Chain A
């Protein structure tokens, strides 16, 4: 009878990965402006933000979502990312095609269907809303967002009056 153990390949690997997990809580994704700016583990989605002279760029990881599942809105200096990730089907989870004949219930199949046993449920589900205060006012009419392979990129052009204006020096 085959055995299934949802775990790591080797006890030493398991120990190593656990140490990695602890270590990463101190070192992974170091914030650039102090630890106080780091998102807590329960903040979703985590974001990276950068600024150029012309725009603010916000990136977030939203695996399993379609473009239509994410609501991106801008109001003045506030950017809101909103959406929901549905409960995974027993066969595939969000973002994948369910196998024929496999129930979509989380615990057990329907009458006559196969019994489904979950060994791990690490991927979160449910609704989310993240509000970000941008450092400058942006032009909401020109904000662009794209979602590729689960990575959302929002480009927010700065409002015209906020863009740096270069003054030319006249030579007499």
Chain B
């Protein structure tokens, strides 16, 4: 089932250092996380975010994402309001063994994709079984 892209809101103050952020609400984006050995990939729904206002950091095994969303207001008199507009923030503990220098992030169509590669030394290795 398709779901809406945000699940929670908090009334935390807007981050004045985040470019484009003028919102006081912060939402948790819905995220898919998959792991295929060599890297962990996180995909987050962040519609309306400003690409230049997305901050991804990795520190002590914790991947943190904050995306500033420029405030937008529909013209005229509101008739229906089913969702609010605010920044996105979420963090995940990945642990050690990842190559922070090779983390890559891409924002397209309102979706942020982050690839966190493992260090070569800890990547799973398939051991071939020899037959006699």
* Chain A residues near B (Cβ < 8 Å): 1-10, 13, 17, 20-21, 23-24, 27-33, 37-39, 41-53, 56-57, 59, 61-66, 85, 88, 90-97, 99, 102, 109, 114-128, 135, 149-151
Contacts and interface: CB of A to CB of B under 8 A. Distances in A.
A135 B82 contact: no
Interface in B7-38: 7-10, 25, 27-28, 30-38
Contact of B45 (A20, A37, A53, A150): A150
Interface string B41-52: 101011111010
Given A4-B40, A9-B91, A48-B80, A64 B9 contact: no
Contacts of A128: 2
A88 B32 contact: yes
Contact of B111 (A2, A3, A95): A95
Contact of A120 (B2, B32, B79, B80): B32
Contacts of A42: 1, 3
B64 A9 contact: yes
Contacts of B47: 61-63, 149-151
Contacts, number: 241
Q: Which 9 A-B pairs have the closest CB atoms?
A: A150-B110, A2-B97, A150-B47, A52-B76, A95-B111, A93-B43, A63-B110, A50-B74, A124-B3
Contacts of B66: none
Given A21-B7, A96-B43, A116 B36 contact: yes
B101 interface: no
A149 B36 contact: no
B120 interface: no
A165 B130 CA distance: 86
A2 B95 contact: yes
B7 A95 contact: no
Nearest to A8: B91
A27 B6 CA distance: 14
A50 B76 contact: yes
B30 A39 contact: no
A33 B81 CA distance: 9
Contact of B37 (A27, A28, A115): A115
B62 interface: yes
B9 A29 contact: yes
B82 A46 contact: yes
Given A1-B122, A9-B92, A28 B75 contact: no
Interface in B75-120: 75-84, 91-98, 106, 108-111, 113, 115, 118
